Amino acid sequence: GVQYRQSKNLDDRHVKYAEKGMTISGVVEDDGEWLRINDGIFLPMRLGALQTLELLPEEDTKLPNGTPASSSRGGESPCGSRPEE
């Protein structure tokens, strides 16, 4: 998984992790380096050369009722944590 951060500092670790393969909605910032989940919670989109999150196409981000996950939250982009290869 990918560990959440409390700021855009890799050393400012949160206690929680985004599990492998889960879909997370947030705002992509800093030229694709960070995903802001909400105020004070971030995920790194990459760690060095390793891409940790990837943007998902809209058809992969439907809620159980069929609504796109990003439609109700203006400006947010759905991302998925990358499974181990």
The answer for 31, left when phi > 0, alpha when psi is -120 to 50, beta otherwise, is left
What tens digit of pLDDT does each residue of 33-85 get?
999 998 889 999 999 898 888 888 765 555 555 544 433 233 455 566 555 44
pTM of the model: 0.70
For residue 15, give the nearest of 7, 6, 25 by alpha carbon: 6
CA angle 82, 79, 34 (to 5 degrees): 95
